[in-house]
């Protein structure tokens, strides 16, 4: 009897020990899973125009990630415009999380961290960049938003005192936020006012905020590495997120997949700069909200392009402010613009100075680059035709189908999304942003309105697509948003002779064009008449 009891007792002890061992192993395994989860980085895209909506979305997603135990963040930065105040609000949140939650931040600068985007590298524990990088000029495009003393104070305060590069980052913060502060290289970078010796070795030009490149960052010891975007993602363990997953632990923060090549890299590839003399830039202006684009416009543009084929400017700016016009005239102009680029090696930059509507959208799509002013818009290109009574009516589906394909082909030619172009022509096309991709749907009931990442409707059924400047940047249609700036006026005499300094145009405030020596705009003007088939 006792032996039975003892054997039972031994069995129970063995079972208890086995159960305890299982619980212990399970607990350790669970803890390791949670630890791995905490170590999984959250990728945050800060690309294109950083407006309030974009930055608010990032802030919400970051807070959600922190609540889920995330402590590592990777910021992919490629931006040169945005809302400065809202960018500071997001930076402030990152700062708070670094102090209170001990999060770590890695920043990868893919080409540009200019304007509001320039503040985020100051928060980084480690910085990487691509092979061609520009970082600085925090107030670019937002010069009047904050007084200089407040801007300086806010940028400098982002650098934590325990940062090993605290002193040099303080110098950069001051130079990037105030054009009146000059930086010199005197056995290391320092403020010109603190330099004791020769102050001729200036790093920043008088009156210009500091902008640094990848080589300078490497010399200063601020970089962990210079890598291509693909190599950086591979190094950091980037994994593509399945469009079907709703697992927040594998969630990245809304990357919108657009152009495969950055704006600045493409500019360097396609625009040749004369480093030893004057650089001429062609200017064709289509600015008439009354008559619109017609055969007279085509003749004007053709003559202008014939002239530029002989004078060989570095590139041509096509300034657009038009409600549309004739289909066939627009097609001929569009083909000629594309030919100028592909056959004669002179790229065309569309400059949407308010409107590129209807036929104007076709012209913009036929340019290698599209830039747009802050209050600009593009789209609404449904073809219409005059009936027997002279009233405009929607063209037949046959015409619409042909034009839809034409728009898609022009968009696709310069690596823009063809669905966006089609939706400008056809009001029955439904487009949504789904998991960072522009997706075309057949029916409205296919729109996903629930889940952790619901669809964002870009173009609802029954409405022609027209995009504002922020949307043009966000969806990869436009390459650069030009914010309002106070510039010298073009004089009456300069307009008469059709030539003036390019610095009087907002496009040339973009850092890439600063390398042009004495750039001169060679301009033309036109007056047209309206008839025939229209957009």
Domains of the chain plus CATH, in order, are 42-236 (3.90.226.10), 263-427+464-533 (3.90.226.10)
Cα atoms found within 13 Å of the Cα of residue 447, Cβ hemisphere only: 16
| Contact (Cβ atoms closer than 8 angstroms) between residue 376 and residue 360 | no
Query: Nearest to residue 381, comparing CAs of 502, 154, 534?
Result: 534
Q: Which pLDDT does position 18 carry in this prediction?
A: 53
User: Given this model, what pLDDT does residue 530 score?
Assistant: 31
How many Å apart are CA 270 and CA 91, to the nearest integer? 35
Phi, psi of 479, deg, nearest 5: -100, -25
- Terminus-to-terminus CA distance in the chain, angstroms? 102
pTM: 0.57
- Residue 351's DSSP bridge partners are 319, 371
Q: Smallest Cα–Cα separation from 530: which of 404, 395, 402, 384?
A: 384
Q: Between the CA atoms of 293, 297, 302 and 308, what dihedral angle is there, to the nearest 10 degrees? A: -100
Residues 6 or more apart in contact with residue 161 via CB below 8 angstroms: none
Cα separation, 214 vs 65, in Å, equals 31
Cα 446 to the chain's mean position, in Å? 29
Integer Cα distance of 419 and 397 in angstroms: 18
pLDDT at 261: 55
Whole-number pLDDT of residue 346: 95
Tell me what pLDDT residue 388 has: 60
Q: What is the mean pLDDT of each run of 10 residues along the chain (535 residues)?
A: 54 53 44 51 86 85 88 91 91 94 94 92 95 91 83 92 92 93 87 68 83 93 93 81 31 43 82 77 84 89 93 92 91 96 95 94 96 94 69 71 92 94 94 87 88 83 93 92 83 79 82 71 47 38
- Rounded CA gap, 456 and 431, in Å? 9
* Residue found by looking up tokens 């960049």 in the block: 129
Which helix H or strand E contains 304, and what residues bound it?
helix 295-311
- How far is Cα 431 from Cα 449, in angstroms, rounded to an integer? 14
How far is residue 88's CA from residue 158's CA, in Å, rounded to a whole number? 9
Would you say 282 and 317 are in contact if contact means Cβ atoms under 8 Å apart?
yes
Q: Which residues are bridge partners to 325 per DSSP?
A: 293
Beta partners for residue 320, in sequence order: 286, 352
Instruction: Give the residue from 84, 99, 97 showing the smallest Cα distance to 44.
Output: 97
Name which of 358, 355, 309 is nearest 330 in CA terms. 358
Helix then strand count (H, E) for the chain reads: 15, 23
- Secondary structure (DSSP) of 205-251: -TTS--EEEHHHHHHTT--SEE--HHHHHHHTT--PPPTT---GGG-
pLDDT score for 329: 92
What pLDDT was estimated at residue 521?
64
Which long-range contacts link 196-205 to residues 24+ away (Cβ below 8 Å)? 203/175, 204/175
Q: How far apart are CA 238 and CA 43, in angstroms?
A: 9
pLDDT of 264 reads 82
Q: Residue 417's pLDDT is what? A: 93
């Amino acid at each position: 009897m006792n032996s039975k009891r003892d054997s039972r007792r031994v069995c129970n002890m063995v079972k208890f020990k086995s159960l305890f061992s299982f619980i212990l192993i399970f607990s350790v395994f669970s803890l390791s899973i949670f630890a791995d989860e905490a170590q999984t980085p959250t990728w945050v895209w800060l690309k294109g125009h950083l407006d309030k909506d974009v930055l608010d979305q990032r802030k919400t997603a970051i807070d959600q990630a922190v609540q889920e135990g995330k402590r590592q963040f990777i910021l992919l930065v490629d931006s040169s415009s945005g809302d400065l105040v809202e960018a500071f609000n997001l930076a402030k949140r990152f700062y708070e999380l670094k102090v209170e939650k001990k999060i770590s931040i890695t920043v990868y600068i893919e080409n540009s961290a200019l304007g509001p985007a320039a503040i985020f590298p100051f928060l980084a524990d480690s910085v990487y960049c691509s092979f061609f990088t520009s970082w600085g000029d925090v107030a670019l495009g937002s010069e009047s938003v904050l007084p200089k003393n407040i801007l300086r104070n806010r940028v400098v305060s982002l650098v934590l005192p325990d940062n090993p590069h605290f002193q040099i980052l303080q110098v950069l913060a001051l130079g990037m936020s105030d054009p009146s502060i000059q930086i010199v290289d005197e056995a290391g970078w320092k403020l010109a006012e603190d330099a004791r010796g020769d102050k001729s070795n200036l790093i920043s030009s008088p009156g210009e905020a500091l902008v640094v490149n990848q080589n300078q960052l490497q010399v200063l010891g601020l970089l962990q590495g210079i890598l291509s975007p693909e190599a950086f993602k591979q190094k950091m363990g980037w994994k593509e997120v399945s469009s079907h997953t709703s697992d927040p632990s594998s969630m990245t923060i809304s990357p919108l997949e657009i152009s495969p090549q950055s704006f600045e890299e493409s500019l360097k590839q396609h625009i040749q700069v004369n480093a030893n003399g004057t650089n001429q830039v062609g200017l064709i202006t289509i600015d008439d909200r009354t008559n619109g684009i017609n055969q007279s416009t085509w003749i004007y543009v053709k003559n202008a392009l014939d002239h530029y084929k002989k004078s060989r400017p570095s590139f041509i700016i096509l300034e657009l402010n038009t409600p549309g016009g004739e289909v066939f005239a627009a097609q001929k102009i569009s083909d000629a613009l594309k030919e100028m680029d592909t056959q004669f090696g002179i790229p065309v930059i569309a400059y949407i100075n308010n409107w590129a509507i209807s036929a104007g959208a076709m012209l913009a799509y036929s340019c290698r680059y599209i830039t747009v002013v802050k209050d600009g818009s593009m789209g609404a290109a449904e073809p219409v035709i005059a009936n027997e009574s002279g009233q405009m009516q929607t063209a037949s589906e046959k015409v619409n189908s042909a034009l839809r394909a034409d728009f898609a082909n022009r968009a696709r030619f310069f690596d823009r999304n063809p669905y966006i172009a089609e939706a400008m022509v056809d009001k029955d096309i439904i487009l949504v942003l789904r998991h960072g991709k522009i997706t075309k749907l057949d029916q409205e009931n296919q729109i996903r309105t629930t889940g952790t990442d619901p669809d964002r409707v870009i173009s609802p059924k029954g409405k022609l697509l027209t995009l504002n400047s922020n949307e043009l940047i966000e969806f990869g249609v436009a390459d650069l948003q030009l914010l309002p700036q106070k510039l010298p006026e073009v004089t009456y005499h300069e307009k008469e002779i059709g030539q003036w300094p390019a610095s009087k145009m907002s496009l040339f405030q973009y850092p890439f064009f600063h390398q042009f020596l004495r750039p001169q705009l060679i301009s033309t003007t036109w007056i047209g008449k309206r008839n025939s088939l229209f957009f």
